[in-house]
Amino acid sequence: MWWILLFIGGMGLVVATKIAFVGWGIGIRSLNFTGFSGHAMRATAVAPVFFYMLLEKNSRPYKIAGIITGLAFGVLISYSRLVVHAHSVSEAVTGCLLGGAIALVFIGIIDQCKLELNRWVIVMSIAVLLASPSIPPAPTQRWITVTALYLSGHSSPYTRANWRNSSDLEVF
């Protein structure tokens, strides 16, 4: 339950920042920040938890190595968002930090609870994840845009181009 709450909270922040920018132009122009990177957040929130759970019956050094490996994976995904020009540095870094915070808070919670995790559940989760690339991606950006325009009442979304063409959009 904690994992679900933390992950949904993180995704809620990602979506809220994106809707705020697309609908109203709310962002941080000086940092080129229009919203947390969802890819960076998800990768960094999931990978450390996955490795921790996979190694939970091992000694503490193994668990820590797993967490570090998961965080490194999240950093690589965050970097990939820069390489494909999907996000600015501030968006990728803040998405990665948000995901890392979610992962570490959850790991702290389950570490205190001393839960016994079923490895078969973890293995089956891997199988589902491996099959997921064959599933067509959801049109989340379109959903965010439609929602932002509906809530703001604007007819067109704000973009980074609006920042270049106007000095009155930056809120922060």
Chain position carrying tokens 């970097």? 79
Contact 10, 99 (CB under 8 A): yes
Per the structure block, which two tokens stand in for 24?
């109203």
| Residue 155 belongs to a domain | yes
pLDDT exceeds 50 at position 169: no
Q: Is residue 80 part of a domain?
A: yes
Cα–Cα distance, 123 to 120 (Å, whole number): 5
* 71 pLDDT tier (thresholds 50, 70, 90): very high
Residue 98, pLDDT > 50, answer yes
Structural domain harbouring 134: 2-161
Task: Check pLDDT > 60 for residue 56.
Answer: yes
pLDDT at 170 > cutoff 70: no
Residue 171 domain-assigned (yes or no): no
pLDDT at res. 74: 96
Sign of CA dihedral 153, 159, 161, 164: positive
Whether residue 172 lies inside any domain: the answer is: no
> Among residues of the chain, what percentage have pLDDT more than 70?
87
Task: Determine, yes or no, domain membership for 97.
Answer: yes
Q: How far apart are CA 123 and CA 128, in angstroms?
A: 9
Q: Residue 28: beta bridge partners?
A: 33
Write out pLDDT tens, residues 122-165. 677 777 766 666 677 778 889 999 999 999 999 999 988 887 76
pLDDT number for residue 116: 67
C-alpha closest to that of 145 among 24, 9, 56, 2: 24
Return the pLDDT at 64.
Answer: 95
Residue 167 has pLDDT above 60, yes or no: no
Task: Note whether residue 126 is domain-resident.
Answer: yes
C-alpha dihedral, 142 to 148 to 154 to 156, nearest 10°: -30
- Give the residue with greater pLDDT, 129 vs 170: 129
- 138 domain residue, yes or no: yes
156 is a domain residue:
yes
Asked if residues 46 and 77 have their Cβ atoms less than 8 Å apart, the reply is no
Number of domains, the chain: 1
Query: How buried is 37 (Cβ within 10 angstroms: 0-12 exposed, 13-18 middle, 19+ buried)?
Result: buried
Q: Of 151, 156, 164, give the one whose Cα is nearest residue 20.
A: 151
